[in-house]
Structure 1
Amino acid sequence: MMRGPQFLTIWLLIFGSTSSLAAESELEFTPFVGYRFGGTLDDERTGRSWDFNEASDWGFTLSQPASETTRYEFLYSHQDTSLADTTDPNNAFDLDVHYFHMGGTVDVYQDRFTPYFSGGLGMTYLHPGQAGYENKTRFSLSVGGGLKWYPTERLGIRFEMRGYSTLVNSNSSLFCDSGCELQISGDAFPQFETNLGLIFRF
């Protein structure tokens, strides 16, 4: 199974291949920090629920113009969190959640303050921090919106709210083969984040 870093390489290659389609050569690189919350998995075997604990997130976006009001965009977002039994918070294990998404943005209008909508498709890479638990990769999608402010021609500030939905097969197991897996009921789990980033334009 492909690992998270491999998805990053593939997405960057795909992103780079679109350069000939750009309406202009202006790139935007935006590192960000924020806060992510939400996400519950229901264990069909025990009837218990497991919650993703709220925690900070960080990542970056890399985008280039597709037209006057739209941009292609690659997004990477990472969270160090834990998955905890809702009936026993001491029953928990560390979990890193990585999102690798390719998508874009659509400007509502363009000015020094530019509101926009965003969306993407890609993969969620789940990395448990406990021996005997396996990494898992699942398909996911995201939608969001935000505001860009450009105090100078080359620097800006970006505020965004984004929601994710990661698809999981109903009645499938996660993280390991036997004894410690979660037997999931349901088809997806959502997460939400708010981010603040610094835009560098090239």
Structure 2
Amino acid sequence: MKIAAYISASALIVTSALVSNPVFAEVFVAPFGGYSFGASEFNIKSAGLSNFAQDEEGELNVSESAHYGVMLGFTTNDPGDIYLIYSHQATELRSGGNFSPTPITDLDLDLDYLHLGGSLYFPNGNLKPYVTASVGLTSMRPGGDYSNETRFSMGFGAGAEYQLTESFSMFADARGYATFISSDSTLFCDGGECLWFISSDIMWQGQVNVGLKLRF
């Protein structure tokens, strides 16, 4: 029920952005960089690899680190915009709790978000505060020969844009991403063997971003 409520709320916001006065004014590209933090922990249990005891339990989280990305989209006459956002973070998975300190418990991870979203602006001269929401996919690609994992996710955020010229502006925002993980499933497998069983429903992660927007 909780997951369904999150999905419904996010879908409603993005759908509203897409259908509300969809008169496209300008195309824009917006590269950005920032810092990802505060990923929630997975509750995990070893999945039976030879270097783990069967009853080992602990927590798993995504390490904080820098990220970068780009948005492509259209401004609208709301005022607002509709965009496709891609964010990439090179980080690590770290485990804790009762897990033994073996090298496999710290695993390189590429974490990507690819979302379709919309923003609503509240202009005040050259300063334009905004709120935003998005839905899409989270891709988790571990190092080694372990399988990639792709999950549905959604995002919410708020920020401000400052118009420097008619076609050029700067922006800063904070975003929160919720990635929906199937409870009681395996994670990161290799040839039929999996690293962990997880018993968590949602992975939360926060981002702070700064970027430039160029309109055409």
For the aligned pair, the TM-score class normalised by the smaller chain equals: 0.7 to 0.9
**Higher mean Cα deviation, 43-52 or 25-34?**
43-52
Counterparts of residues 113-192 of structure 1 (less than 5 Å): 113-131=127-145, 133-176=146-189, 178-192=192-206
Q: Is the 8 A contact 1:141 1:164 kept in 2?
A: yes
Pick from 80, 83, 87 the counterpart of residue 90 of structure 2: 80
Pick from 42, 53, 72 the counterpart of residue 62 of structure 1: 72
Aligned to 2:43: 42
Q: Is the 8 A contact 1:44 1:171 kept in 2?
A: no
Separation in structure 2 between the aligned mates of residue 60 and residue 100 of structure 1, nearest angstrom: 10
1:188 partner amino acid: I
**Higher mean Cα deviation, 178-187 or 84-93?**
84-93
Which structure 2 segments of 5+ residues have no match? 1-17, 47-55
1:185 partner amino acid: S
TM-score (norm 2): 0.78
Separation in structure 1 between the aligned mates of residue 80 and residue 186 of structure 2, nearest angstrom: 39
Q: Is the 8 A contact 1:22 1:65 kept in 2?
A: no
**Higher mean Cα deviation, 81-90 or 184-193?**
81-90
Q: Tell me how many residue pairs correspond in the alignment.
A: 182
Give the superposition deviation at 1:63: 2.0
SS of structure 1 residue aligned to 2:57:
coil
Give the superposition deviation at 1:22: 4.6
Q: Is the 8 A contact 2:177 2:204 kept in 1?
A: yes
Aligned to 2:126: 112
1:147 partner amino acid: A
Separation in structure 2 between the aligned mates of residue 111 and residue 30 of structure 1, nearest angstrom: 21
User: 4+ residue stretches of structure 1 with deviation over 6 A?
Assistant: none
SS of structure 2 residue aligned to 1:26:
strand
Counterparts of residues 5-20 of structure 1 (less than 5 Å): none
Q: What CA deviation, in whole Å up to 9, does each residue of 1:107-163 have, x standing for no partner? A: 1235311000011000001111122x1001100000001000011111110101000
